[in-house]
Structure 1
Amino acid sequence: MTILEHISDILARASGGVQSLVAAIRDLFRSDPELRRKVAFSVALIALSAKMAKADGVVTTNEVKAFHEFFAVPPHEMRNVARLYNLAQQDIAGFEAYAKQMAGLCRGEAHECAMLEDVLDALYHVAKADGVVHEREQNYLARIAEIFEIDETHFAQIQARHILDGEADPYVLLGLPSGATVDEVKKRYRQLVAENHPDRLIARGVPEEFIIIANGRLAALNNAYERLELTWRKK
């Protein structure tokens, strides 16, 4: 059974909107944490993307295209995605309720806590698809980060990865002070590249379709490191 088929099956059982769906994920996959993470990630991205679109007020063609870069949805399963997306948009519960439930799935497990950052990264990818992260989208994402208990420094790193002109402060992107030494930069860069390898995301339960997240992180890290290298050469 595919991830989307699992979601469809849960939707058939859930009667209280997306909130009851998240609760069902915890109960149905209690003995299979890897599958729970994959289903939870997919549900979080679909539902929170729908709420973000509603907060922004406009769903552009590029945002829809970006969404489908993650979900290579076969035609016969498109209705499952559409059903959850529409349910989330129509649900009277606010996005904060969803985000809190997703954060609640963490339960102190490193894999599931790290996955919350993956969800936030994916939402940024959708938000910036039309060429700009609008103020309401930025406020939405900042609130999601707060609920996910992602601290300000870490959130600044995530933001920097998604600055569209590629000119984010490389030290912020690497999570280092501007006075960091060359050795400190090299050590941190190698650490982040290892942490964000696609295999790491797959190991913590992110569906393989979402490896675009890891690729985007690595591209941003490489850009930041190359810009610092260029600065060192000029000295």
Structure 2
Amino acid sequence: MSIWTRISDALSALANGESLSAVFERLSAPPERSVAFTIAVIGLGAKMAKADGLVTRDEVTAFREVFQIAREDEAQAARVFNLARQDVAGFEEYAHRIKGLFGPSNKGFCDLMEGLFHIAVADGEYHPNEDAYLERVAEILEMPEADFMAMRARYVPNAEPDPYSVLGVDPTMSVAEIRKEWRKLVRETHPDSMIARGVPEEAIKIAEKRMIDINRAWDQINEAA
């Protein structure tokens, strides 16, 4: 059963006129967290896509890059996106409900933010309003500032990312200590680890860029040592 079929089942349980954000209350069990994760990325992403004042084709296309969507599932995916855009609930309410579902300081929040960053820069520009939006979402989710800054260092276009910022390490640390942090990030980015956190198989592509970036950062630091 695809993630989109499971989402359809979750949406069918909503009462008439009930907002999309209400679906999180029904997805507290671990097996259904992948459904909650997908709706969270689409819901927050749809609202963020308007943060710079314009929903571009690139930003809509970015959803297809984050999630593998089969042709037969396109209509259901579009329905979720449109429900999120029309939902009267603000993005802060979404973020608070997601935090309540997963609990504070959950590694799944990094996966969620990864998807949002991907959508934010899909048009080749990182707008100040998008930055403020993402920073506020990260604040609500209680995402460590160092993790947020490391992620932003990887995604902000037109800037060569600092390898130490990408790995979230201090330049004064020894190479052995940095290697330990790099290996930890590699383990956390492994598809099996992400699926265990609630990321659906259809969204594992969000790990590809992260793995490339952290490996490149480690190579740069290791070669300069």
The whole-number CA distance in structure 2 between the counterparts of 1:221 and 1:181 is 17
In 1, Cα distance between equivalents of 2:56 and 2:160: 25
Task: Name structure 1 gaps, 5 residues minimum.
Answer: none
Q: Within the alignment, does 1:43 sit opposite 2:39 as a pair?
A: yes
2:9 pairs with 1:13: no
CA separation in 1, counterparts of 2:89 and 2:96?
A: 12
Measured in 2, the distance between the counterparts of 1:117 and 1:137 equals: 17
Q: Select the residue among 155, 158, 176 that pairs with 2:151.
A: 158
User: Contact 1:18–1:98 at 8 Å: present in 2 too?
Assistant: no
How do 1:105-124 and structure 2 match up within 5 A? 105-107=101-103, 113-124=106-117
How far is 1:164 from its partner? Answer: 3.0
Separation in 1, partners of 2:196, 2:134: 25
- TM-score by structure 2 length? 0.91
Q: Which has the higher contact order (CA 8 A, sep 6+)?
A: 2
> Scaled by the length of structure 1, what TM-score is found?
0.88
Q: Which amino acid aligns with 1:162?
A: Y
Report the Cα distance in structure 1 between the residues aligned to 2:69 and 2:181, rounded to whole angstroms: 37
Alignment root-mean-square deviation, CA: 1.8
Superposed displacement of residue 166, structure 1: 6.4
Q: For 1:88, which of 84, 88, 112 is the aligned residue?
A: 84
In structure 1, the partner of 2:52 is: 56
Say whether 1:129 aligns with 2:122.
yes
Aligned residues: 223
- Note the residue ranges of structure 2 that are not aligned, 5 or more in a row: none
- Paired with 1:48 and 1:219, the residues of 2 have a C-alpha distance of 25
Using the alignment, how far apart are the partners of 2:2 and 2:179 within structure 1? 40
Q: Considering fraction of residues, name the structure with more helix.
A: 1
Sort the Cα spacing of 1:155 and 1:106 in 2 relative to 1 into closer, same or farther, 3 A. Answer: same
Taking only the aligned residue pairs, the percentage that are identical comes to 43
